[in-house]
Structure 1
Amino acid sequence: MTAPVKSSPLGLTVLALLHYRPLHPYGLQQLIKQWGKEQVVNVGQRAGLYRTIERLHAGGLIAVRQTERDQQYPERTVYEVTAEGRAVARQWLEQMLAVPKSEFPVFPAALSNVPMLTPAEALEVLEKRAEHLAAQRTDLEARQAVDAGSGLPRVTLIENEYVHAMVVAEERWVRAVISDLRNGDLTWSPELLAAFAEHYEAPSAD
């Protein structure tokens, strides 16, 4: 009996795409990009996709359909989803949609350590982040404009709506913090932090 395969966004996406037709890894990578799924799953490094495929295959969720041989390309293994893979993909999907997961993204972790910087330094780096978020929002809105004219059903692009909403919300929040830093509503000093540390010092182990 094989061990259960741990769910992952990329694993779910591979299973979902193989619902439509058998594909080789390169075809999967290209389809993910063509459908704009690289906004929500990381396929920048093909090695990660291959590792995911290996896990799904070892777990019995996908199977080898055939091996393609072409003089122009290296030998390619074509995979198809198994009946178990279809069932597991549905379980993963329902779980991911219904239950918020405690994830640990980089930005909140960095915010929790922002007192390492001075308020002026924090203002400078957050201004840079706001610029990146604005550029990302502009790119997403341009993509949405193209998608709107493509005739594709809204449901096939709904993850892009979510990503856009999250970027807009984060940019709004970051700019509000920038405003508080500029006008002094948010500030700190080594003396203030030292007093805080002394007050909340961990009790002795004795």
Structure 2
Amino acid sequence: MKHAALTPLGVMVLALLREGDMHPYEMIRLLRLRRQDAIIKITNGTFYHTVGRLQRQGLIAEVGVDRDGNRPERTTYALTDAGPQALAAWVRTHLADADGTTGFRVALAEAHNLDRAEVADLIGIRRTALARELAEVQKRLTRAQALNILEQFAIESHRRRAMLRAEIEWTDSFLERLARPDYLWGVTDIPVEHQAGNLALRKAARA
């Protein structure tokens, strides 16, 4: 089955449901408790629309309805077999993006859903693109200097050069950490004490 393109928020929903079945209220609370709303704006209306869209795409499905006291009924959702595949495909597509857009930021936040070796390959592709752009920016600045162009007319190139240098420095540091056997990666690498903390966070999100 061919699915419509996922949005960054849709990817976050799929990643949450990979951790376990949840209702939308719990998912919204959990994203905010983890401060992931700093990456992408989350409103209740947009979130419920996203959940409905994912269900129509066949990526998630209703698995139960709960009622707690006088609270409204809450529908619990789970991933279908197609959900994890769509999640992984989207992250693969955007993780090598050199533009640093919201798509890349969400892909990076959800990169732990891929094998570390694959993540290293994709981030390596991005690093090559960043280095290529840095070389082009440096070439423009060198030409501007040779022509005695005032810096004020090249200030954006100076800013971009600084940003690219910082991105490459961070990327190299991340790849070094990812290559270490003791660097925790993926759900299976999470120690019991961290799993307990994550469960506590989910409990708080359900309250």
TM-score of Structure 1 vs Structure 2, range by shorter chain: 0.3 to 0.5
TM-score (norm: length of structure 2): 0.47
TM-score for the superposition, normalised by structure 1: 0.47
